[in-house]
Amino acid sequence: MEFEVFGNKDTRSGFGEGLAVLGEQNPDVVALCADLTGSLKMDAFQKAHPERFFQAGIAEANMIGLAAGMTIGGKIPFTGTFANFSTGRVYDQIRQSVAYSKKNVKICASHAGLTLGEDGATHQVLEDIGMMRMLPNMTVIVPADFNQTKQATIAIAAHEGPVYLRFGRPVMPIFVKPDAEFVIGKADVLAEGTDVTIIACGHMVWKSIEALKELHAIGISAELINMHTIKPLDEAAILKSVGKTGCVVTAEEHMMNGGLGEAVSQVLSRKYPVAQEYVAVNDTFGESGTPMELMTKYHIDTPDVVAAVKRAIARKSIII
């Protein structure tokens, strides 16, 4: 199986391009940043629309409150900072002023997960998907590549309500078509198969594509789903696929607790219990290193997806 690749870029740049497009398209879009304009690639929006760009400084709690207040005059605020400072640092502000108050704020979070790399564990948030998906009214989106992050950024402006958009730093292959339509809550089936369902999000979608090649070589037919929306979760897509394959592997650059895998297992345990294996970080903090070194060390790399698939298939007969 072959996947067309459209070059290599970081997902955060997809966010920056998407925001710039929104700036031209929608005069109600405003942007806020907490001293990380360059890192978030928000410069283009800032330059083109300085009157709609608000520099909050290193004061994330205030930034979330500002954004919530800005919705009241009818604007659509996009906040930008690292994922760690977009969630854990401001959880209560998001909870009360955004989620509970149902405000139309888009919390855009870069440098998520281990692939932030050398800065180390203080900045490598691996709990953010869990925190955000626990909040009522919150939509949680983890796009897979540059193109999809750009498409998702544009799509969430048209969605009324709080959104958490998670993306990252490393340069990775682009495989989503430049003209693909992003539909919130509608999973993308990237490959059809019969032996196992791989459900991945973010950078782990590319790692799973790589795993498909190895699995194909050893005669395993894997179905791959890009679950870019963690909440609301596309239950129908999961059940349709797992009904066919009978086992599942989830793959995410996040803690096993609280993440995509847990969301999927909640669906399956209620509606169609099957063997599930997790590719995720297992209850540990990260450390300094290059993004790819860290993915290898913390077992969220291509060989880990392959190994998890073998475990899941081996367990099929035991459970069913």
Partner 1 sequence: MTRKVQIFIMENTALAGIASQVRRDIVRMVSAVNSGHPGGSLGCTDFLTYLYFEQMQHNAADFQMDGKNEDLFFLSNGHISPVWYSVLARAGYFPAAELGTFRKLGTRLQGHPSTDKNLPGIRMASGSLGQGLSVGLGAAQIKKLNQDPTLVYTLHGDGELQEGQIWEAAMYAAANKVDNIIATIDANGRQIDGDVDEVLSLGDLQQKWVSFGWEVLHMDGHNFDSIRSTMQQAKSMTGKGKPVVIIMKTEMGQGVDYMMGSHKWHGVAPNAEQLQVALDQLAETLGDY
Rounded Cα–Cα distance for residues 88 and 93 (Å): 10
Shortest CB 57 distance to partner 1, Å: 7
Query: What's 168's DSSP letter?
Result: -
Q: How far is CA 225 from the centre of its chain?
A: 13
For partner 1, give the closer residue by CB, 4 or 51: 51
Length of the chain: 320
Structural tokens at position 232 = 């609301």
Region of residue 246 (left: phi > 0; alpha: psi -120 to 50; beta: else): left
Shortest CB 58 distance to partner 1, Å: 9
* From 2, 4, 60, 210, the catalytic residue: 60
State the burial class of residue 315 (Cβ atoms within 10 Å of its Cβ: 0-12, 13-18, 19+). Answer: middle
For partner 1, give the closer residue by CB, 5 or 59: 59
Structural tokens at position 283 = 């209850």
Rounded Cα–Cα distance for residues 295 and 308 (Å): 15
Structural tokens at position 254 = 């996040």
For partner 1, give the closer residue by CB, 52 or 169: 52
For partner 1, give the closer residue by CB, 66 or 238: 66
Rounded Cα–Cα distance for residues 310 and 317 (Å): 13
| Interaction site with partner 1 (CB under 8 A) | 30, 51-52, 54, 56-57, 59, 61-75, 77, 92-93, 95-97, 100-103
Is residue 262 annotated as part of the catalytic site, yes or no? no
| Positions marked active-site | 60
